[in-house]
Structure 1
Amino acid sequence: MTERSIIFFDIDGTLLNHEKKLPPSTKEAIFKLKELGHEVAIATGRAPFMYQELRKELAIDTFVSYNGQYVVVNGEVLYTNPLKTSSLEKLTEFALHNEHPVVYMDHEDMKANVPEHHYINESIGTLKINQIPTHDPHYYKERALYQSLLFCRVGEEKQYEQQFDDFDFIRWHPFSVDILPKGGSKAKGIEAIVEKLGFSKKNQYAFGDGLNDIEMLSSVTNSVAMGNGEEEVKRAAKYVTKSVEDDGILHGLQMVGLL
């Protein structure tokens, strides 16, 4: 048997195909990794409540949520990095002036600062989670929030980037941008997990396809970009596998010698 390793998988466009389905070859590969004694984890921009069923299906209880801001190991919260409330309040005021909706997200739920907006419905609808945020404009005042969503057209986020130094902005949909604590990333969340579990750099692997995976793929020693990923993402990775639609996870695991 090869040495025990830890493998982090992004969800959308990596574990799940573009129909938000888990390819049979991917599921089989995940359980084969477990049989071989490897640790399997998820690293996603999604909220924990957005992929409970997937974690259950794959028997995974170690994960990085919100692009690194909410990290769980073996079912226990290990690390959190919430947004700065005062800065989020100022951003909300600016967004309202621009008629750009904002959604606030903690580890259990998400709430919008407007009753309804087609940008929210269309972008979150692509995740196929059967959940749209309900209205609560004061949700950010009462709890720790680990990510927010700003809804605006491509390019309009530039004015926010210039004004709000406490946040990073990462676009994931033509109508939506992730708002993260400055410097927060999947790589930071992974760092906390591997330190806790004691995996050496050579026994760390990561698979991803999106712009929010770039720092993860750049920092994890054995990084694999999906064939369906953007060119910038592929350049950040050590390896490039086939598309998620073409058994990309299985092929990539075979390519790096884990299967």
Structure 2
Amino acid sequence: MKKPIVFFDIDGTLLNEEKKIPASTKKAVHLLQEQGIHTVIATGRAPKMFYWIQKELNIDSYVAMNGQYVVFDGQEIYANPIDRDRLETLSMMTASNGHGMAYCSHLDYKVSKSNHPFIEGGFDSLMLPYPEVDEEYFKQLPIFQGHLYCGPQNAQMYFDHFPDFSFIKWDANAYDILPKGASKAVGIQKMLEILDIKKENSFAFGDGLNDLEMLTMVGTGVAMGNAVPEAKAAADVITTSSSHDGILNGLIKVGLLEKDVTLV
């Protein structure tokens, strides 16, 4: 039987409230790798935002930008960029309304405006610096995910105007922009097919609204103790929070690690 595969969200899952990787999580991931179990990052972030996490955890495989860009052992296996014309239409609309955009490629990410309070707030929540501004970045490289920065009172007009996009809220005034039907689950399915791993041998850990599809499509979905109620309802198992050894405890709970794991 092929070894299992485990997919980990980043924010609120691999990272604790301080945006750090707990020692117990580093130990747990290392123990999985020692067993030959595949460890994969599954995130809404663009790759440049989590290189440091890959390095600390020795993970070379990921499902990035909510399933839009997938890499296994450092090699691209799936890429689904957003239609450039539709993205330009959306960009023009946000510019005319004074709202902000971000454009995420497989190499970098740029934003449409400088000193925008909602962009600043979104990246502050990730503990990342304000990105470089390039309002035409989407014309230079394939863009796999956008961000919309506007207040909730303004968001509905974008939802109505762009029914071919999904808008997933991840901060008070920030939404991921994806083609309709895109999700982490789509990227995960691509990886399972290529590796010929059966669904029942797949596990996923998550906490947010963009994890719902992932948690329900794998063999065992694990919600963090700090997860939103929707994620807890979608999961098969609920572990402790990301700040209280949630990854380690969850892996023990689903039988992938022994109960007597020590952190030394």
Structure 2 residue runs of 5 or longer lacking an equivalent are 258-264
AA paired with 2:67? G
Residue 3 of structure 1 and its aligned partner are, at CA, apart by 6.3
How far apart, CA to CA, are the structure 2 residues paired with 1:243 and 1:110? 29
The correspondence of residues 197-216 of structure 1 with structure 2, limited to 5 A, is: 197-216=195-214
How well do the aligned residues superpose, as a CA RMSD in angstroms? 1.2
**Greater than 6 Å deviation, 4+ residue runs:** none
TM-score (norm 1): 0.96
SS where residue 156 of structure 1 aligns? helix
Identity of aligned residues (%): 47
The correspondence of residues 62-73 of structure 1 with structure 2, limited to 5 A, is: 62-73=61-72
AA paired with 2:124? G
Residue 155 of structure 1 and its aligned partner are, at CA, apart by 4.2
Residue of structure 1 aligned with 2:238, choices 229, 234, 240: 240
SS where residue 33 of structure 1 aligns? helix
- 1:140 equivalent in structure 2: 138
Report Cα offsets for 1:8-62 as digits up to 9, x if no partner. 0000000000100111011100000111121110100000000101101111011
How far apart, CA to CA, are the structure 2 residues paired with 1:78 and 1:125? 31
AA paired with 1:67? N
TM-score (norm 2): 0.94
- 1:20 equivalent in structure 2: 19
AA paired with 1:170? I
Report Cα offsets for 1:235-255 as digits up to 9, x if no partner. 011111111111111111011
Residues 3 and 71 (structure 1), Cα distance of their counterparts in 2 relative to 1, 3 Å cut: closer
AA paired with 2:75? E
AA paired with 1:235? A
Residue 142 of structure 1 and its aligned partner are, at CA, apart by 2.1
AA paired with 1:14? T
AA paired with 1:185? S
- 2:39 equivalent in structure 1: 40
- 1:49 equivalent in structure 2: 48
AA paired with 1:256? V
Residue 115 of structure 1 and its aligned partner are, at CA, apart by 2.6
Residues 3 and 85 (structure 1), Cα distance of their counterparts in 2 relative to 1, 3 Å cut: closer
Structure 1 residue runs of 5 or longer lacking an equivalent are none
Number of equivalences: 257
Contact kept, 8 Å, 1:87 with 1:166, in 2: the verdict is no
